[in-house]
Structures are given as C-alpha cells and as structure tokens.
Amino acid sequence: MTSAPSPGGLSCEQVLERLSEYLDGELPAADRAAVEEHLRGCNACARFGGEVAETLRLLRERLLSDSSASSIEAIRRKVRSQLPG
C-alpha cells in the first residue's frame, strides 16, 4: 500500500479512509467510482477491502440472527461510543 495517488487518483491511505463508507454504500457516486477504480488496480487494497467486507458480512449475519432490530441499534451505538474520534 502506498500514500502516493495511484489507480482512481487515490492513494491507498485515501481508499482506507473511505472504505467503511464505500462498503456501507454511503459514498457519492464520483467517490465510489474512484474507490472502485483503485480497488481494480491495487491488489493490496482489493485484498484488504475484501477481508473487511467479509468480516462485516459475517458480523451482520451473526447480529441479525441473534438479535432483534432494536438490539442491533443498541449494539451499533455502543460500538460507536467506543471508537476514537
């Protein structure tokens, strides 16, 4: 991974900063396209992004199978309260 701009005009660091929003479908179309272009051209980011996406998928699957919708929101608030920034 590099900090210099690369595929999509984004550095690996910039892609990692946007990865959560990208995976949640919250990026504007232009930013989403730039991240996708970078992921197509950067094996390291594509591999890492894939691992994060799979981890989130499994976590969501586990939470949804074990919890009600209101419990999920409570878990989300608790996790966010523990994150820096």
- Measured N-to-C along each axis, helices 43-66 and 69-82 cross at an angle, to the nearest 10 degrees, of 130
CB 8 within 8 Å of CB 17: no
State residue 61's pLDDT score.
Answer: 80
State residue 57's pLDDT score.
Answer: 86
Its pTM stands at: 0.66
State residue 4's pLDDT score.
Answer: 58
CB 19 within 8 Å of CB 10: no
pLDDT in tens, the chain (85 residues): 555 568 889 999 999 999 999 998 999 999 999 999 999 999 999 999 999 999 988 887 877 665 556 677 777 888 888 888 7
CA 61 – CA 48 distance, rounded (Å):
20
Cα dihedral 27, 28, 31, 34 sign: positive
**Which residue is associated with the tokens 């197509």?**
40
